[in-house]
Amino acid sequence: MITPSETLLLIIDVQGRLAQSVVRSSALVAGTGKLARACKILEVPVLLTEQYPKGLGTTIDSLKELLTEAVTVEKLSFSCCGSPEFMKQLRSFNRNDILVAGMEAHVCVYQTAVDLVEFGYNVHLVTDCVSSRSEENRTLGIRCIEKAGASLTSSEMAIFELLRVAEGERFKAISKIIKE
């Protein structure tokens, strides 16, 4: 089970034109937005990556507006773990459970998830918050990530797992997010 004190949300490369060209794009953006908002309420830090933003553009505006406190790392390697700056930032949070969202599922998300598992992190792939340009590659990416040792979850499942109880101000705020 994930807890706010041990969890970090990693959002990989939800950028520019690519974000519009993946399958289930609107679901990915909506789910990732809900997850980001819930993480803010639950004090779960967010690490954001951008693959070659000069060429692919930056994180899409609707997410960038929600992620003003997120640490952003630019990278050229497909695996986030191939970036020394990413690894430095990741280690600075001192979290063992990594919720992984982003794109593309069969490239950057896959390679990052496999590396994180190999480094000993507990990887939780948020399946409604990952995508690729084709459904086949999205599905293959998810299957291979699970086979590599990651757990599968959804944005709503992760949010309620982090929340734990149906009481208090946090529950009320998160209930509003879920119902949108």
Backbone angles phi and psi of 8, in degrees to 5: -130, 140
Residue 126 host element (H or E): strand 122-131
Number of independent structural domains in the chain: 1
pLDDT in tens, 43-72: 999 999 999 999 899 999 999 999 999 999
Instruction: Give residue 129's domain range.
Output: 4-179
Any catalytic annotation for residue 40?
no
pLDDT at residue 160 in the model: 97
Any catalytic annotation for residue 129?
no
* Whole-number percent of the chain with pLDDT over 70: 100
pTM value > 0.75: yes
pLDDT at residue 129 in the model: 98
**CATH code for position 73:** 3.40.50.850
Residue 149 has pLDDT above 90, yes or no: yes
Any catalytic annotation for residue 75?
yes
pLDDT at residue 180 in the model: 84
Coil, strand or helix at 44: coil
